[in-house]
Chains A and B, each alone.
Chain A
Amino acid sequence: MKRIYLDHAATTAVDREVMQAMVPYFTERFGNASSLHTFGQDANRALASAREGVADALGADVEEIVFTSGGTESDNLALRGSLPGHKGHIITSSIEHPAILKTCRHLERLGCDVTYLPVDADGLVDPGDVESAITSETRLISVMHANNEIGTIQPVSEIGAIASDHGIPFHTDAVQSFGKTEIDVRKMNIDMLSLSSHKIYGPKGVGALYIRKGLKIEPLVYGGGHEMGIRAGTENVSGIVGFAKAVSLACERFESDTAHLVKLRDMLIDGVFGSIDDVFLNGHPTKRLPNNANMRFMFVEGEAMLMHLDIKGIAVSTGSACSSASLDPSHVLLALGISPEDVHGSIRFTHGRENTEEEIKYVLDMLPAIIEKLRAISPLTGK
């Protein structure tokens, strides 16, 4: 059966060019980048070139890029590394990824104070709320660039400007937004930024944290002084080379990728609204990622929809409690003020570079009958 992958916010397939770039670093170019001999220096050059590529893509300097194991570690390093004494205040949003929210809860247990800012019905943080939340104890502001569930893009430049005026470091999780919306850390007043490789057609297990020069960050992992002493451990050279290749491809294809993604997104949303009643868009209508279409279908439950779609070969994700390990409905959708029963009926479609118009047409052909079937079973329909 034909399989259509519409869950790119979860992960992506490694691009063939990325794969090719990585292969030599598993075998003949296997050196440890810290070694002084030729093998080591070859790996070290690959690492330097990867770092330069990632820095260029963000408008940063080479020494401002620390490679990590991925987005979660980058978020942990930014937050926990900024408050090593566990004293002080953090401002964040209520719709952050668990890598931020759970880290904040951990820091609260250790003695920090955290303000979780609300969002409006479209998922936007009000920069005025950020400014009002600042106290003399505030040590960090962390607001994600784009939300992983609903795709809403936050006004990070405005928040960055406020943080800069108050002399408070500003971190943003750009794991979902990189490659899909413009990023320039200088222009946007960003002091720290998290990236992940596997969301941009790179390998899993690698990412980066941009840390503005002069910002003091305490390591989470101690050891041999790798990554400017901020992240010890022999560098994952093959992974980093693949990540850098994925970054370079994302920059190269930025215009064509985003145009393609916007076209498919709008085709999907317009098609669903044209063929199915009682459906609503989750997230901002325009300030949203080009590859995110998150919609809620009244009277039906997300896991049941997901499974019907999976049988038709279509892979999506849901905000329903039934599909999450925690059995909690999506904290993001609840924060938008959506009722819990409607949160259960939400489906996230996140398409990617390789998806086609034919595939979206196929989804639009399959979806109405699935919704109709589940609504016929549901006691909520028409009530």
Chain B
Amino acid sequence: MEYSEKVMDHFLNPRNVGEIPDPDGSGEFGNPVCGDMTHVYIKVEDGRITDIKFKTFGCGAAIATGSMITELAVGKTLDEALAITRDDVADALDGLPPVKLHCSNLAADALYAAIRDYQAKNKDS
């Protein structure tokens, strides 16, 4: 598999790995049956993502996109974070092999799920 240097860097040295013990929102996307699943945990203050962590079961591309989404989303408002697309993640990694664009680029969806979880919990506030 021909991966960019950036993908290899994020795969070998993933940023912000782990769980947030008491997250304001958490979400997952993918399915281990298909070989890729990413969990995202967020802390939110004044409508901004102040902390974000991820965990991934999956291939090099799936791990790299999980790592990259944490870098792209941290410090963003929820609206800005919801505007991050799968393509943005792939572009930030200097591209993904075509075969991986669809199946292993799950991190943006996991982030949306975490934000929706936060929004559902904070509907009344």
In contact, A303 and B60 (Cβ under 8 angstroms): yes
In contact, A322 and B36 (Cβ under 8 angstroms): yes
In contact, B104 and A322 (Cβ under 8 angstroms): yes
B82: min CB distance to chain A, Å: 22
Q: Which residue of A lies closest to B30 (CB)?
A: A379
In contact, B56 and A378 (Cβ under 8 angstroms): yes
- Decide yes or no whether A1 CB sits under 8 A from chain B: no
Residues on B with C-beta less than 8 A from A380 are: 32, 37, 57
- Decide yes or no whether A320 CB sits under 8 A from chain B: yes
Interface of B is mostly: mixed
- Decide yes or no whether B35 CB sits under 8 A from chain A: yes
Residues on B with C-beta less than 8 A from A323 are: 1, 59
**A341-B57 Cα distance, complex, nearest whole Å:** 10
Residues on A with C-beta less than 8 A from B12 are: 308, 311
A152: min CB distance to chain B, Å: 24
In contact, B57 and A379 (Cβ under 8 angstroms): yes
In contact, B63 and A377 (Cβ under 8 angstroms): yes
B70: min CB distance to chain A, Å: 12
Write the A317-352 contact mask toward B (1 if CB under 8 angstroms, else 0).
000111101010100000000011100100000000
In contact, A303 and B17 (Cβ under 8 angstroms): no
- Decide yes or no whether A376 CB sits under 8 A from chain B: yes
- Decide yes or no whether A43 CB sits under 8 A from chain B: no
In contact, A340 and B17 (Cβ under 8 angstroms): no
Interface residues of A in 260-304 (CB under 8 A from B): 299-304
In contact, B33 and A340 (Cβ under 8 angstroms): yes
**A54-B10 Cα distance, complex, nearest whole Å:** 51
Name the contact of A344 in the complex, choosing from B14, B17, B35, B55 (C-beta under 8 A). B35
In contact, B35 and A301 (Cβ under 8 angstroms): yes
Residues on A with C-beta less than 8 A from B99 are: 325, 327
Contact flag A379-B1 (CB < 8 Å), given A301-B35, A301-B36, A307-B11: no
**A344-B57 Cα distance, complex, nearest whole Å:** 10
Count of interface residues, chain B, beta-carbon cutoff 8 Å: 29
In contact, A304 and B59 (Cβ under 8 angstroms): yes
In contact, A304 and B60 (Cβ under 8 angstroms): yes
**A54-B84 Cα distance, complex, nearest whole Å:** 62
In contact, A378 and B57 (Cβ under 8 angstroms): yes
Q: Which residue of A lies closest to B12 (CB)?
A: A311
**A90-B33 Cα distance, complex, nearest whole Å:** 32
- Decide yes or no whether B34 CB sits under 8 A from chain A: yes
- Decide yes or no whether B62 CB sits under 8 A from chain A: yes
In contact, A301 and B11 (Cβ under 8 angstroms): no
Residues on A with C-beta less than 8 A from B92 are: none
Residues on A with C-beta less than 8 A from B58 are: 301, 304, 322
**A321-B36 Cα distance, complex, nearest whole Å:** 10
**A339-B33 Cα distance, complex, nearest whole Å:** 8
Residues on A with C-beta less than 8 A from B32 are: 340-341, 344, 380
- Decide yes or no whether B28 CB sits under 8 A from chain A: yes
**A323-B61 Cα distance, complex, nearest whole Å:** 11
**A311-B5 Cα distance, complex, nearest whole Å:** 13
**A339-B62 Cα distance, complex, nearest whole Å:** 20
Residues on A with C-beta less than 8 A from B20 are: none
In contact, A379 and B103 (Cβ under 8 angstroms): no
Name the contact of B35 in the complex, choosing from A321, A325, A378, A379 (C-beta under 8 A). A321
Write the B4-24 contact mask toward A (1 if CB under 8 angstroms, else 0).
000000011010010000000
27 contacting pairs across A/B (C-beta < 8 A): A300-B57, A301-B35, A303-B1, A304-B11, A304-B59, A304-B63, A307-B1, A307-B60, A320-B35, A322-B61, A322-B100, A322-B104, A329-B35, A339-B33, A340-B33, A340-B35, A341-B33, A341-B57, A344-B35, A377-B17, A377-B56, A377-B57, A379-B28, A379-B39, A379-B55, A380-B37, A380-B57
Beyond contacts A303-B59, A321-B34, A377-B55: 8 other A-B pairs, Cβ-Cβ < 8 A, are A300-B57, A302-B59, A322-B36, A322-B62, A325-B99, A340-B32, A341-B32, A379-B39
Name B residues whose Cβ lies closer than 8 Å to a Cβ of A. 1, 3, 11-12, 14, 17, 28, 32-39, 55-63, 66, 99-100, 103-104
In the A-B complex, the 7 residue pairs with the smallest Cβ-Cβ separation, listed nearest first, are: A322-B59, A341-B32, A303-B59, A379-B55, A344-B35, A379-B39, A340-B33
